[in-house]
Amino acid sequence: MSLPEIVCWPVAAAAAVCVIAVTWRGRWRAFGLWTALAIVGQAASLQMIDAGPGIHFQRYRPVGELLSGWRAVYPALVGLQLAAVVVGVVLNGSRMRQVFAWRVGWWRWGLVGAAVVLFAAPVGGQMPESGGATGAWAVVGLLGDFAPELLFAAAVQLIHLGVIVLAVMAVPGDAVSTAAARLDGWLGGEADEARGRGGLDRFTVGVAIWVTVAAAALNVVSYQRHPHVPDEAAYLVQARMLAAGSLSMPEPPVREAFDFYLMDHREGRWFAVPPVGWPAALAVGARVGAAWLVNPVLAGVCVLLIGLVVREVSDRRTARLVVLLAATSPWFIFLAMSFMTHIWTLTCAMFATLTVAWARRTGRVWWTLAGGAAIGMVSLIRPLEGLITAVLLGLWAIGVGGKRIKWAAVALLVIGTVLVGGLVLPYNRALSGEATQFPIMKYIDQNWHEGANALWFGANRGMGWELDAGGRGHDLFDGVVNTALNVFSLNIELHGWAAGSLGLMAIALVWGRRRRGEVMMLAVIGVIVGVHVFYWYHGGPDFGPRYWMLILVPCLALTVRGIDVLGERAGGSGRVLLGVLVMSAIALVTVFPWRASDKYYHYLHMRPDVRWMAEAEGFGDGLVFVRGPQYPARAGGSIGPVDGHPDYASAAVYNALRFDDAGPIYVWDRGDGSREAVMAAYPDRAVWTLEGPSLTEDGTCKIVERPDGE
């Protein structure tokens, strides 16, 4: 039995038993039984999915694998759900017809249904190469692999949705009214409708504390305080350099033996090439040996800012629901667990938005100077998102979608943006030699080909990665496929609901009245999604649609609006809200332990083994050579720096910044003669050799050679 099954099943089973025990006596018994079935059913459907630590989009396992051996219990449990739903619909047919007899037009039903089912599975299998099948033939090729899996995945989603609907319908009307009244009191009700009234409250602060604790715990238990995505290793090394007061360190004596992804050299200096904004924040934690805590703390701060921003444009109930949905979102929480850039980006964007809202409401202009600085920081973290944030907030500040703020406030917003964002020019000059050339762009041009990482369409776009939708080159078809893959990820990761995450958003947009707030949020989503169509990569399966992180709050707000719209149609939002809370609670006890153990534990086969081995084995000041697979040479005879992942990259992050400092020195044993050069450079150090997880049978790091043949 796999680790996810060992972790996920006991939690799900315990939760189901607790629900039954609490609801067994009284009018909530039927609700409890349906909810327990939903918990067990979602746990079973998750075990039918192939996600795992490899880099691929999750998809359901082949039918033959699902029906073989003990794994057949999982489709059997989902089949039990289906049978229960059929019986439940038959017994409650007349009542369901009354509840769902809405005259909204067949096309509206069709749009909502499409949002629920069309993104239940990732598009296609192996994408066609650019320059090969295009147009209609490419679409036919994709659908040939996509359609069968989509039908199965959509059916599973609809079964789960049916269980939840029957669960909330099983609660007697007076019990729902009582529960709804309590929920309204808990969420703030309708007593405080004025926008901008009141600041932080205990509810939002409590949610923020939960987010920080949950993300920190996941980082310790699942991530093991160790980088897993290749970018994260470079971020951590760069943060340590900044914490030491420098942008670079002296180049190692045999550079190719210490090379890994996003590390470059120039004029005898060795440095990381990512934009400086995120490593600068990470350096605060690195300074005190707690870089792993930075994102969890920022996520808690981000929740506070989200609550304040939504409170500026809506009522207290909506703000509390939005932060509650954020706190139960796998997308948000698992990014908060990681060492990735996106939580810091969202935090800065939320602060900038809040300052513009405050300037509009209070007339005070100085807030926007700090808001501009936050926009500038976004540009230092992720330049494209910085540009998008500057344009969207700039338009909002001058009156598009709301009242214009004072021109003095607009000027301060621009000044703050320029002052902080302009720091990129000396940073670029220091590392790339040119103020207008980003180090990361120069690095990719040199190690792959010119224009590989540039925005827009072109035959030279892309780095040849396996998950690149069209291989090398990027066109509109690739952009559409990338968008579809990210919408699929959003459907899975936004809420973690077994019934999919997009249905309520679709209801808000299709059935709700067009209010300015919804139009603005839809516009924000459209701009962010639309701009990324022109980028060659979709972001991969790491942490959901991470390139779209700035749409998190609009998506959550539209979900809350969908609750209200559906409630109006169903004769009250009590049952709808109850169903939403139940689905989010089920996600907490099924999706979170499953994701933490199945995907992000040793994700991409990165492991902190050498950290433990150094203490247990006493590497001391030794040279520790790390072996991995032997990669074929690229054009020109070079081996790409990304090829050291995961074996050497897992060890390289534990090197001292200066390669003559005390402590073990981890070296990439490339098998190209560099080993002898390193040993000549360090003749007095004992030599160890490790085989990385890519080479060992059990996927762990092992010592194969000790000093003096011990």
Per-residue model confidence as pLDDT tens digits over 350-367: 999 999 999 999 888 999
Q: Which pLDDT belongs to residue 4?
A: 76
431-440: pLDDT as tens digits: 999 999 999 9
**Would you say residue 403 lies in a domain?**
yes
C-alpha 579/C-alpha 573 separation (Å) is 10
pLDDT band at 601 (very low <50, low <70, confident <90, very high): very high
Q: Is 297 contained in some domain?
A: no
Query: What per-residue confidence (pLDDT) applies to 134?
Result: 46
- On whether the CB atoms of residues 170 and 30 are closer than 8 A, the answer is yes
**What does the alpha-carbon distance between residue 299 and residue 277 come to, in Å, rounded to a whole number?**
16
Predicted local confidence at residue 506, as pLDDT: 92
Least reliable range by pLDDT among 55-59, 268-272, 497-501: 55-59
Please check whether residue 516 is in contact with residue 273, taking contact to mean a CB–CB distance below 8 angstroms.
no
Give the DSSP letter string of 232-285: HHHHHHHHHHHHTT-S-EEPPSSGGGG--TTEEEETTEEEE-S-SHHHHHHHHH
End position of a domain, from candidates 416, 431, 446: 431
Confidence of residue 466 (pLDDT cuts 50, 70, 90): confident
Work out the pLDDT band at 135, boundaries 50, 70, 90: very low
Residue 659 lies in a domain: yes
Per residue in 662-701, pLDDT (tens digit) is: 899 999 998 878 899 999 999 999 999 999 998 888 888 9
pLDDT, mean over the chain: 89
pLDDT for the residue numbered 661: 87
Is the pLDDT confidence value at 127 over 60? no
Q: How far apart are CA 159 and CA 174, in angstroms?
A: 27
Domain C-terminal end among 431, 451, 468:
431
Residue 353 or residue 403, greater confidence:
353
49 CB-near residues (< 8 Å, 6+ apart): 58, 59, 60, 61
| Whole-number percent of the chain with pLDDT over 90 | 64
pTM higher than 0.85: yes
Q: Please report the pLDDT score of residue 636 as a whole number.
A: 47
Give me the mean pLDDT over the 8-32 stretch. Answer: 91
Q: Do the domain assignments include residue 704?
A: yes
Residue 130 pLDDT exceeds 70: no
- Residue 143: its pLDDT value, please? 57
Q: Specify if 114 maps to a domain.
A: no
Q: Which domain holds residue 387?
A: 355-431
Give 227's pLDDT tier (boundaries 50, 70, 90): very high
Contact status, residue 391 vs residue 379, Cβ threshold 8 Å: no
The residue assigned the tokens 């900038």 is: 352
| Residue where one domain finishes, among candidates 405, 431, 457 | 431
Instruction: Say if 391 falls within a structural domain.
Output: yes
What average pLDDT does the segment 618-638 reach?
Answer: 77
Kindly state whether residue 91 falls inside one of the protein's structural domains.
no
pLDDT for residue 157? 94
Residues 5-24: what's their mean pLDDT?
A: 90
Q: Say yes or no to pLDDT of 126 above 50.
A: no
Residue 369 lies inside a defined structural domain of this protein: yes
- The amino acid present at 212, given as its one-letter code, is T
pLDDT value at 514 more than 80: no
What is the Cα–Cα distance from 490 to 483, expressed in whole angstroms?
Answer: 10
Say how many domains are in the chain.
Answer: 2
In this structure, what DSSP letter does residue 109 have?
H
d(CA 262, CA 233): 9
Distances (CA, A) of 549 to 330, 441, 613: 12, 22, 37
pLDDT at 24 over 80: yes
Half-sphere exposure of 442 (CA within 13 A, CB side): 18
Phi (first) and psi of residue 363, to 5 degrees:
80, 0
